[in-house]
Amino acid sequence: MTRDEFITALFCRIDDALAGTPKDPRSKLWPGELVTLGVLFVLRGQSQRRFHLWAWSNLRPLFPHLPERTRLFRLLRRYRRLADRFLAEPGLVNFADSLGIELVHPRREGRSPWPAGAKGKSNGRWIVGVKFCPLLNGAGRVVDWDADGANVHDGEFQRMLADWPGAGKMTDKGFHRSKKRGGDCPSLLVCERGQCNVRMTIETVFSNWVRVWNLKRMAERRWSGIEARLAFACAAWNLVTDWATELFGGEQASLSTAWVPV
């Protein structure tokens, strides 16, 4: 499959899912085109400037109304809610964990006029950024997600987990809340260290996001841009893994064999 064939097939999948979504009469891009560009931005794993340079050089035959860089990413922030259409349904067993995302070096903390992140610990090291907490079902698809500053305790993400009271949720001990802080939400199973090896599903997903999509570091500085990129990352993961499952078969195989020719 060539690059243009992949992008065309990806657009068809996205446009079919967004059928019936109205188009702003002032806009030159349809919602399906905007979501496709947002997904490609995540798949490329590049900065905004480098991605727009690549898109301007290679995608203008497919997107003849491609706007200039700042206009494009303002539109992606505005229409990021469309990415929620591609979230999956919860399963009998679901998994949640947090991923620390670095925004700036700790020595540069406080220099930006738009400090979206905060200083905190992630995986035993100090970062200045945000924590991203997705909820995955048993097949490794994103069901829901939340994000906050890196100084936030993982237990605060139970506000997102509480929205799914009927689904079982497995987390590590970092999500436990004492009774003084409100206690744990219903259907939450806090796994001890070395137990519940099925939680490695979410570690496999994080490994793909960090190593392939460069999601460990982000150049965005405002919450609107951070949330837009995370929303399109969840949509991209569900789209690509569903596609890989159709091609190769097997849920676990699709988590590691999804190849994207962009």
Give long-range contacts, CB 8 A cutoff, 24+ apart: 55-59. Answer: 58/3, 59/7
Tell me the C-alpha to C-alpha distance, in Å, between residue 218 and each of 17, 29, 71, 104, 105: 28, 26, 19, 8, 11
With contact defined as beta carbons under 8 Å apart, do 89 and 97 qualify? no
**18-41 pLDDT, tens digit each:** 988 998 888 899 999 999 999 999
% the chain with pLDDT above 90: 56
List residues bridging with 101 in a β-sheet: 130
Residue 61 neighbours by CB distance under 10 Å: 7
Mean pLDDT of the chain: 88
Give residue 198's identity as a one-letter amino acid code: V
Q: How confident is residue 255, by pLDDT bands cut at 50, 70 and 90?
A: low
Q: What is the total residue count of the chain?
A: 262
Question: What is the predicted pLDDT for the residue at 201?
Answer: 87
Predicted local distance difference test score (pLDDT) of residue 260? 59
Question: Quick one: average pLDDT of 56-69?
Answer: 94
Q: Where are the domains of the chain?
A: 1-85+222-262, 93-221
Is the domain spanning 93-221 CATH 3.30.420? The answer is yes
pLDDT band, residue 251 (cuts 50/70/90): low
